[in-house]
Amino acid sequence: MTQRKFRFGVSGRGDTLAQWKDFAHKAENLGYASLDLPDHFARQLAPLPALVAAAQVTTTIRFATTMLDNDFRHPAMLAKEAATVDVLTEGRFELGIGTGSQPHDNEMTGIPLDPPGVRVERMIEFLKILRLHFGEQESIDFDGKHFHLKDLMAYPKPLQRPMPIMMGARGPRMLRLAAREADIIGVLPGDDGPEGLGKQMAVIREAAGARYDNIEFTRLHFDVQVDGKPERTQAGRGPSLVGSTHEVVEQLQKLREEHDVSYIMVIGPQIDAFAPVVAKLAGT
């Protein structure tokens, strides 16, 4: 596999429009390739309208959802919204979707949390509907186990053809599905700790076959400290990047060399501390 160049994403922060615009400007100016938002019922802006707002005050940075929970949206509505976001961001959108990573969201909202097998079944149908909507068809008919569409107008169409689809995956079933369907795969930490990433990548490689080289791999790092900044408030949550700028650069180069992960995401409070690493590695 030809090594992909590094690119970096940062999860957005801001409670007001002014704060959100300032954060988007900062991320673009510091060289981050994408501004990202998760999909939780927590202290955060709703991802899709917020990313469209950020697009109005930026020119080059891309936008990603990390990841939209398919429990929360019907695929017909999400297809329309995602295509609209791609139009309104002028083709700078990466649609990240998954089956959910925080059951507490379902508990808070009363949205049923089905068994993993059912959620994967729904995701398979979800992806088929998205691909149909983003394709050449003017209307869609779909008769599945979970979703039924009849003569649905597939409008608007995204500017990007194909629309990049990113999937978050942890367990073997989702890893195999993502390997077959996704353009970008966010490999979530499993129960085996850091050494488990190699096993996850092996599952992906086997399931992806010849398309493996066309997949970009990403990881979200919550625990980041570069040259002692910022304070490690997220220590112990997910994979770590801790050390001097030089040491963190080496860690990421090793991650890419051993596991093909080249799209690195960090959370908003780390935007300044991680910037020296972005400056060293972005585009290399």
Give the model's pLDDT for residue 131.
97
- Fold topology of 7-281: TIM Barrel (3.20.20)
Give the model's pLDDT for residue 95.
98
Closest C-alpha to 167, from 179, 156, 152, 149: 179
Give the model's pLDDT for residue 1.
67
Q: Which two tokens stand for residue 136?
A: 């050449």
Q: How many CA atoms lie within 13 A of 66 on its CB side?
A: 26
Give the model's pLDDT for residue 192.
72
C-beta of residue 4 within 8 angstroms of C-beta of residue 262: yes
- Give the Cα separation of 22 and 20 in Å (integer): 5
C-beta of residue 272 within 8 angstroms of C-beta of residue 240: no
- Give the Cα separation of 236 and 62 in Å (integer): 29
Task: Tell me the backbone φ, ψ of residue 12, rounded to 5 degrees.
Answer: -70, 155
Q: Which two tokens stand for residue 12?
A: 């957005």
Successive 10-residue mean pLDDT values, the chain, 284 residues: 92 96 98 97 96 98 96 96 98 96 93 93 97 97 98 98 96 96 93 81 97 97 94 76 97 97 97 98 97
Closest C-alpha to 1, from 259, 184, 203, 278: 259
C-beta of residue 46 within 8 angstroms of C-beta of residue 14: no
Q: For the residues of the chain, what is the DSSP string, one character each?
A: -PPPPPEEEEE---SSHHHHHHHHHHHHHTT-SEEEE---SSSS--HHHHHHHHHTT-SS-EEEES-EETTSS-HHHHHHHHHHHHHHTTS-EEEEEES-S-HHHHHHHT-----HHHHHHHHHHHHHHHHHHHSS-SEEEEE-SS-EEEEEE--SPPSSSSPPEEEEE-SHHHHHHHHHH-SEEEE---TTGGGHHHHHHHHHHHHHGGGGGG-EEEEEESEEEETTBS--TTTTSSSEEEE-HHHHHHHHHHHHHHH-EEEEEE-GGGTTTTHHHHHHHTT-
Give the model's pLDDT for residue 148.
98
C-beta of residue 178 within 8 angstroms of C-beta of residue 214: no
Closest C-alpha to 166, from 26, 271, 63: 63
Looking at this protein, which amino acid is placed at residue 181?
A: E
